[in-house]
Amino acid sequence: MDNQMMKKMANTIRFLAADMVQNANSGHPGAPMGLADVAVVLSKHLKHNPKNPKWINRDRLVFSGGHATGLIYSLLHLWGYDISLDDLKQFRQLGSKTPGHPEYGHTPGVEITTGPLGQGVANAVGFAMASKYCANLVNSETAKIIDHNVYCLCGDGDLQEGISYEACSIAGHLKLDNLIMIYDSNNITIEGDTSLAWSEDVKLRFEAQGWEVLEVDGHDYTKIDEAIEKAKKADKPVLIIADTVIAKGACEMEGDHNSHGAPLGEDLIARAKKEAGFDPDKKFYIPDDVLVRFRCAVEEGELAEKEWNHLLKEAPYIEQNEALERLLNPDFDAIEWPEFEAGSEVATRDSNGKILNAIAKAVPGFLGGSADLAPSNKTELKGMGDFPKGKNIHFGIREHAMAAITNGIAAYGPLLPFSATFFVFSDYLKPSARIAALSGLQHFFVWTHDSIGVGEDGPTHQPIEHLGQFRALPGFYTFRPADATENVACWKAALKLKAPSAFVCSRQKLKVLKGEDDIAFGSAEKGGYLIKKRENATITLIATGSEVMLALQAGCHLEEQGIMANVVSVPCYELFVEQGAEYIDAVIDPNTKVLAIEAAAGNEWYRFADDVLCMNSFGASGKAGDLFEHFGFTIPNVVERVKALLG
């Protein structure tokens, strides 16, 4: 393909993106126009099938900068994904396939939800890590089933965000030679030239992190092609610095930071089209010869996938194909769930560790790790080796990148990953948890040291408001089990959810309560259940985690004083709410007064409760028992709160 043809293809992308933004009167024309030449060359290298966006051995293409949305949707349409020209015209309109920023699961061909800068870089590292793990699981020396590459397009904003430092550091450490990142280096941010706030040498930074770095003119087709070819043969991750001009081809707006996030105007777009040899009066125009060349992706992709499928049926690939099938179709019935003796004392972080190991032994695609806290989180998968050949991932002290990388592993396809840290440090990864929820990714967050019970570590390590913020997050399920047995039930529920979930576990030992057969009504797998029921009850005590035992003990003391109390455990507030009014009323008797007990802020409990015994301040440093007494989580205080509530 000659340069003139590639220039015509690039200009087609430029004007599609400009027309999309102009039509919506909202969006970002600059980055798509600046990256159009890179995109045309990259199209030659990508192995993908637009008719099957879920083919597991496809190359992954991650657009980290959501401001390149016009480029993404234009390419998906041109390549032949299920994105029509009308969809491009509906850019940023309610209910369209082309929202303002790409959303995973919403638009065919979009690999990740992007928008918050830097997330996509970490997601791409997650894709590359997932690919490495799957390849080590199913490939042999002579039969390579998983052998694709991961490409990521990023910009100045992505590289300025701290998450990209964390993610690229671990990528270099792991020598992820299947990862190629193309940096759209146009020296422009919203406020103006990058020199306003940035002066580091990106090349030296990445070389120091163990990457190979190539630098090219981002508008020279030959140089871009040579760089990608070289990157595909590297033995480490590669950064291609593509020096580009923002809004390339936009007349006097070329290189202007004002082109980043606003329509260019009808007149300017018409003049730009005329200068490029396009009809200035035609909008959303795709020349026939351009479409034919882009649409080759369909024929080439279908052929590549058919050849791959055919390969799987031949020796020596048959054994590897069987390994792939086990990966793709996990047997949850094969999990040998741990059992815990009633009356024994087990911290839920300890029971959680046993549960993680039981799942990992039975499910090939279950893996994960901690942000340098595995001994405290109890997340080591014993005897299962270290990544990439084993299941234990050592993320280092990189909470934010850990969560976003794990999102990428979850989005990759057949894997079920977990990440772990202290609950209070979930603050460091909240943006990634939100993206997991928005994307519907089955990412298991393990968060230990769940309350003021962490004791001597003090208020910096005592998460007071965190349960409330994650319960408020749509599509996210926060489990705080009362004991080891309930923890097992929570995991059984979470494995069925096609959504992220968190396990908030205690540092201190908790007594194992009675088993499932002793539950008065309902199930832990429904988020909440009636653990103790009394005839003529006048009060219902609701609690979670370590406070469930307190509620049970207080219930006994109330009964001695002639006050009948029901006790409800709600290990997952979000699941419980989803059950509907009939189930909730069967668990929480509407004829009783309700007191909720939780060593956290507890505001959400007023949905059900007349009163809430909760934290109204940060915690303090001291022995766990002393702290619970100091803050009123005692039997006498619960009894007094109930008496006051009943008048």
Contact call for residues 181 and 127 (beta carbons, < 8 A): no
Select which of 305, 399, 486, 547 is catalytic: 399
CA–CA separation, 136 and 387 (whole Å): 10
498 contacts: CB under 8 Å, gap ≥ 6: 440, 442
616 contacts: CB under 8 Å, gap ≥ 6: none
Contact call for residues 74 and 105 (beta carbons, < 8 A): no
Burial of 339 by CB count in 10 Å (0-12 exposed, 13-18 middle, 19+ buried)? exposed
Q: Which helix or strand (DSSP H or E) is residue 245 part of?
A: none
User: CA nearest 278: which of 83, 3, 1, 13?
Assistant: 13
DSSP 20: H
> 3-state class of 59 per DSSP?
coil
Beta strands per DSSP E along 395-449: 416-422, 444-448
CA–CA separation, 588 and 67 (whole Å): 48
For the beta carbon of residue 315, count every other beta carbon within 10 angstroms.
8
Contact call for residues 119 and 103 (beta carbons, < 8 A): no
Token digits of residue 513:
């309560």
Tokens 């977990």 found at: 418
- Terminal-to-terminal C-alpha distance of the chain: 85
CA–CA separation, 210 and 125 (whole Å): 14
Amino acid identity, position 635: I
Contact call for residues 400 and 432 (beta carbons, < 8 A): yes
Beta-bridge partners for 569: 529, 543
Contact call for residues 573 and 609 (beta carbons, < 8 A): no
Beta-bridge partners for 180: 151, 238
Tokens 């505001």 found at: 603
> 3-state class of 556 per DSSP?
helix
Token digits of residue 158:
């992505």
Question: What's the chain's length in residues?
Answer: 647
Contact call for residues 377 and 420 (beta carbons, < 8 A): yes
User: CA nearest 121: which of 261, 237, 4, 35?
Assistant: 237
399 in catalytic set = yes
Q: Is the peptide bond before 388 cis (omega within 30 degrees of 0)?
A: yes
CA–CA separation, 492 and 265 (whole Å): 55
CA–CA separation, 275 and 627 (whole Å): 73
> 3-state class of 590 per DSSP?
coil
Catalytic residues: 399
